[in-house]
Every structure is written in C-alpha cells, then in structure tokens.
A and B are shown apart, each in its own frame.
Chain A
Amino acid sequence: MSPHGNPEVPASSAGAVESTAAKVPAGPETSSESSAPRSVWPLWEVFVRSSRGLSHVHAGSLHAPDAAMALRNARDLYTRRNEGVSIWVVPADAIAASDPDAKGSFFESPQGKDYRHATYYTKSEGVKHL
C-alpha cells in the first residue's frame, strides 16, 4: 500500500469491504420473492463506529441493490460530517428482534436481582480498594 491508498485498486473495494460484500451477496431477496417491481432496492440498516474503541451504533437505514453499494451509500449518507471510522450494513430482513408484546416475561427476570450490582453490598462501604 502506498501512502495514498493502493493505486491498483480503488479505495473502498479493498479489504474489509469486499469480504463483507461476499458474505452478504444477495441481500434481502425482494426481487425474487415479493411482488414489488424489480427496480425496488431492499432496505439496509447502518451501524457506524464513531471512533476507534467504541461500538458500532445504529445510525439509520437506506436502500441499496446489494451489500457493496449499501456500504458505499452508507459512507456517503451517514459519514458526511466525519461521524465514523467504520461502517456495518445489515439487510433489514436479517435482523431478528425480540417480541415487544412479550416484554413482561422476557425482561422481567433481572428486575429485583439487586445482588448482581455492587451497590447492593453496603457493609463493605469505605473499605479501600474494594
């Protein structure tokens, strides 16, 4: 790699971009399955890492014909103001979400288990390095 990118290969077709694109080649199969016209591009969810050391955070969504273009569109759309150093795109269809109607049972268990938290242990308060 020269200091100015790889002259042989355009900027973002190298490395991570390409391998991600290969792993998700099809994207959501809208064109084959749904009755929508063929020209409709599927929806992608975009996650942006704002700087090194931080997690990728959901930034929003966009439409793109495939993973390679989704990454590029995400770069153009969600990092116009230096918002990120890394991007993930995921076909919106590929996301499995917990059922909001079940939140009572799904998220009840941790409630009230305060012994999982340091603040529960008050007798050791004031003891150094604990």
Chain B
Amino acid sequence: MIPTGSHSSQARTGSLAGVAPDTEGHGDISVGVAGSGDSSASATRITPGNALRPEDIALEVRTGLVKPSEDAAEYALRLGDDALILAQRLGHWISRAPELEEDVALGNIALDQLGHARSFLSYAGGAWEKSEDELAYFRREHEFRSAHLFEQPNGDFAVTIARQFVVSYYQFELYRRLTESTDATLAAISAKAVKEVDYHRDHSAQWILRLAQGTEESRRRITHGLRLIWPYVEELFVDDELTSRLAEAGTAVEPSSLRADFDRLTGAVFAEAELEVPNVPAAPGGGRRGKHSEHLGYILAEMQVLAREHPGASW
C-alpha cells in the first residue's frame, strides 16, 4: 500500500459506515467515523451482481417451469459431473497454492466450476425428481458420468495446470457452441459458464508459458505434467449414441466436432511455449458409461461421507 494523500482513511471508513448497517448487524460497536467520503468512488463497493445462479435453475425445475428430456438430463449429468469432480479436486489447493495470490485464483476457478456443476445437476435432476445434492451425494461410482480427465489427481502445480489447460480449452469450445442449444436451460447455463471458462483458459495459458519458459525445473515439470494428462484428452471428443441424438435435435453438439478448434488453439499455446504436443497413447476412458478411473472411488468416499452418515438430513 502507498501513502495516499487524497484518499484519506476517513473517506474509506466513511464508506464502510455507510454500508455497515445494511450488511453487518454489528451495530453494537460503532465504527464512529464522522467523515463522509465519496462512497461512489470507493474501491470496496460490493454487489452480488445479476447473473444466472444455480438456485434459479433449481427453482425453475421445482416449480415445473422447465423439465429436461431424458436425453438432455443424461447429457447435463455428464457436464455437471465433470465440473463437480474438478471443483472437488481444485478445492484441495485452497491453502496449499504456491503463493497466496494463487490460492485466491484457484479458489475462483473452483467456485466457477462448482457453480456450473450445481446448475447442470439441478437441471438434470428435473428428469428424475432429484435435487443437486441427491445427485452429488447419493449416487454410486458407476452412476457418475465424469470423464477420466477430471478425476486425475492434482499432482504438483504443473499437473494441475496441465489439467486446467485441457479442461478450459475443451469446456470453452463446448459451452460456446451450447449457447445456441435448442434447450433453453442448457443454453443459459452455458452462456454464463463460457465467460468464466474463457478466463480459465487465460489463467492456464499464462501458466503454461511461465512454467515452460521459466526455469529448467519448471520446464521439466510442465512437460511431465502434460504427458501425464494427455492420455485422457481423447475421451473428451468421443461421440456416442446420446450425443448423436442430441446433436441431431440441436440440443448439443458432437464432441468430435470440437476437436479441430481445440487442437488449433492449444497448438498455438504449445508453439508459443516452445513445447511439443505430447506424443502419448490415448487411454480408452469410459466415464460416460460409468466406467471410471481408480481415483473416483476415493473422491466420492471423501465427498459423500458426511452426507451419507445422515441420510435425509438438511444442512
């Protein structure tokens, strides 16, 4: 912080005094500052904003305003599970990141992903009269639809960045197209998500560059991280009967149709970072059919343990 002659502390505390009664409820201890200050120019003016929230989707589903087709629900489940498992993974970084600023950055990404997961799951649940929490906490391993990529362990920071890199470029291409889905709810969730994921692309690309061209050690680690992650890229772009039906109806797009753009744009980052696209055999995947990596069982065991100890409880 710097000596700010013109922005006196009175101006700042003044703006708090203006807000405190509405948001705090600690009226007992008065801030007691006389200065009024220009609160409109404050750098701490906070608002919740106005965007689509998971609660809005849940409400529409609950009141019967929207109801997904069986196919759309199954598809939303895939997207929701991907985002949920990734959020669960990323949440682990908060309090463990390489620098405090990065704790905050990864926290934001995790929260974005968790938000997308909640929206997609709330919508999917509409087909089976289940809530987001019933889907997240009371399904078993084989009932999850996440792709293997999202289940991969955090590893070191390089592995996490490698995974983020693939995820964000994939999700961006996907959500960008889904904004034009004939399913209005999928389109709306995607319109919110694509802007957030766009920032995730930037975050991962910035780090790919720095790790690739930082030190010898960081270059070695990011090269290794990308090799560890790359076998799971293939699964993201596999079409199946569900996606074909949905693509036909204009609800979704064939995953394979995202591949060219994904390759081109990730390729540009690889080129700038002077890295090779990893030449590793692809893993068969199977997450969309409920065939998962060994990791998922542990992720769910931890995520679900408390909710399952108290079935039917509300939190």
Contacts and interface: CB of A to CB of B under 8 A. Distances in A.
Q: Do A and B come from one complex?
A: yes
Interface of A: 2-5, 7-8, 10-13, 41, 45, 47-48, 50-51, 54-55, 57-65, 68-69, 72-73, 76-78, 80-84, 92, 95, 97-98, 100
A77 B1 CA distance: 14
Nearest to A12: B202
Interface of B: 1-5, 7, 40-49, 99-101, 104-105, 108, 172-173, 175-176, 179, 191, 194-195, 198-199, 201-203, 205-206, 210, 261, 265
30 contacts: A2-B176, A4-B179, A4-B194, A4-B198, A5-B198, A7-B265, A8-B265, A10-B198, A11-B202, A12-B199, A12-B202, A41-B99, A57-B41, A57-B42, A58-B7, A61-B1, A61-B2, A65-B210, A68-B206, A69-B210, A73-B101, A73-B105, A76-B105, A76-B108, A77-B104, A81-B48, A83-B45, A84-B43, A92-B2, A98-B5
A95 B2 contact: yes
Given A11-B195, A13-B206, A65-B210, A50 B1 contact: no
Nearest to A56: B43
Contact of A10 (B3, B4, B205): B205
Q: Which 8 A-B pairs give the minimum distances between C-beta atoms?
A: A10-B202, A59-B43, A10-B201, A81-B46, A11-B198, A73-B101, A57-B43, A76-B105
Contacts of B201: 10-11
A61 B45 CA distance: 17
Given A5-B198, A45-B2, A76-B104, A69 B206 contact: yes
Nearest to A61: B1
Nearest to A8: B265
Nearest to A69: B206
B172 A7 contact: yes
A4 B195 contact: yes
Nearest to A78: B43
A10 B199 contact: yes
Contact of B40 (A54, A77, A92, A100): A54
B219 to A, nearest CB: 16
Contacts of A59: 43-44
Nearest to A53: B40
A13 B172 CA distance: 15
Contact of B3 (A5, A69, A97): A97
Contact of A63 (B4, B42, B43, B99): B99
A50 B199 contact: no
A7 B46 CA distance: 30
B195 A5 contact: yes
B41 A100 contact: no
Contacts of A76: 101, 104-105, 108
Nearest to B214: A65
Contacts of A83: 43-46
A41 B261 CA distance: 35
Contact of A7 (B5, B108, B176): B176
Best-buried of A41, A64, A77 by chain B (most CB within 10 Å): A77
Given A5-B194, A12-B199, A65-B210, A60 B101 contact: no
A106 to B, nearest CB: 10
Contacts of A95: 2
Contacts of B261: 7
B195 A82 contact: no
B2 A63 contact: no
A51 B194 CA distance: 23
Contacts of B194: 4-5
A45 B3 CA distance: 11
B46 A82 contact: yes
Contacts of B99: 41, 63
